[in-house]
Amino acid sequence: MSSSTRMDTRHSPRSNHKRKKEVIIFGAGEIAEVASFYFAKDADRQTATFVVDAKYFKESHLNGVPVTALEELVAAFPPEEYEMFVGLSYSNLNRDRAQKCVEAQDKGYSLTSFIHSRSPLICEPHVGVNCFILEDVTIQPFVEIGNNVTIWSGTHVGHHVKIGDNCFITSHVVISGGVHVGQNCFVGVNATLRDHISIGEFSVIGAGALLLESTAPESVYAGTASKPTSFPSTRLKRL
């Protein structure tokens, strides 16, 4: 059974914040640190513990918060008292993050989502669990966002957009109206997706890419990188 079918869905992540439950954050890397910061700063939800697999356990604390091995988690932090957020990156095309969501729910934990208070919602969107939507993300009407979706700062999500499970959308992406993003996709910084196209599942859209047509599953669209000039900056006459 796939991870997307194992996860429950909720419709209002902001309402979760009102309960003020401490949150368990899976991971001990940069994404986990950022998630812990945002939950505390914007939702007044403190991190009870970071959690990692025992084989990756290195330090007992991270930023003053305890780190717990997954194998010891239930005894120390019972699932009826805490919710979990899986704070991992897009590694392995988001499969790793999706798998940890399944493991968390198998242990009895509810997965929570986060939408920054400074992200304007034209209307309350349908948002799944373990979603992480940062500041200045514009979400227009009739948007559906699946489970385990990260949308980084400054992105535009147009009307009638559907984003499948286990996607990672980076900063300042423009997703125009009516676009369907398949599951397990990665969309790089400043990419632009024109309206009413479909992005096949497990696709990678590079930074700055411009997509005008639908893509097949597992497609890779690399952005065009700038190349250095043949002369150094010290020879510039104007800047």
User: What is the per-residue pLDDT across 81-130, written as a single tens digit (0 to 9) for each?
Assistant: 999 999 999 999 999 999 999 999 999 999 999 999 999 887 778 999 99
Q: Which fold has domain 9-114?
A: Rossmann fold (3.40.50)
- Give pLDDT, residue 7: 67
84 class by beta-carbon count within 10 Å (0-12 exposed, 13-18 middle, 19+ buried): buried
Which pairing describes strands 65-69 and 61-62: parallel, antiparallel, or unpaired?
A: antiparallel
Residue 201 has pLDDT above 70, yes or no: yes
Are the C-beta atoms of residues 39 and 63 closer than 8 Å to each other?
no
pTM of structure: 0.90
Domain boundaries, given as residue ranges, for the chain: 9-114
**pLDDT-derived band at 15, boundaries 50, 70, 90:** very low
Average pLDDT for 21-35: 96
Q: Which residues contact 93 (CB under 8 A, 6 or more apart)?
A: 184, 185, 186, 202, 204
Q: Which residues contact 23 (CB under 8 A, 6 or more apart)?
A: 39, 45, 46, 47, 48, 82, 83, 84, 85, 112
DSSP secondary structure, 146-170, as one string:
-SS-EE-TT-EE-TT-EE-SS-EE-
What is the spatial distance between Cα 106 and Cα 190, in angstroms, rounded to a whole number? 37
